[in-house]
Amino acid sequence: MNIKIQYYAQLREARGQSEEIYSTRAQTARDLYLELKQRYNFPLEVCELQIAIGDQLGDWNAPLIQDDVVTFLPPVGGG
């Protein structure tokens, strides 16, 4: 299935772009991140991140659906 992935901060820099359409067989956001981490050598572990599906915080273990918009959120630092 195709998933739209958005990247911010460290992950955007590591990937070299802010979003992409990615074809995967990963069933969950956790599996997807582990696949991407290995492929792009991402510097952050799952335990350091939050996950968003669309514009809402999501569950790492929820099943992914075709055309989901997935965002991996590095540790925040606003203010």
Partner 1 sequence: MFRLQTEAIDLNLASQALLDPSCGAMVSFEGWVRNHHEGERVLFLEYEAFEGLCVNEAQKLHQETLDRFDIKHLSCVHRVGRCEIGTLVVWVGVSSDHRKEAFDACEYFINQLKVRLPIWKKETYTDGSATWVKCLACHEHSKVH
Runs of H (alpha helix) within the chain: 9-15, 29-40
Q: How far is CA 60 from CA 8, 39, 73, 77, in A?
A: 18, 19, 12, 22
Q: Should residue 62 be labelled a site residue for partner 1 when binding is judged by CB under 8 A?
A: no
In this complex, which beta carbon is closest to partner 1, that of residue 12 or of residue 35?
A: 12
Could you say which of 4, 6, 19, 24 contacts partner 1 (CB under 8 A)? 6
Is there binding between residue 48 and partner 1 (CB under 8 A)? yes
Name the residues that contact partner 1, by CB under 8 A.
Answer: 6, 8-10, 12, 47-50, 52, 54-57, 71, 73-79
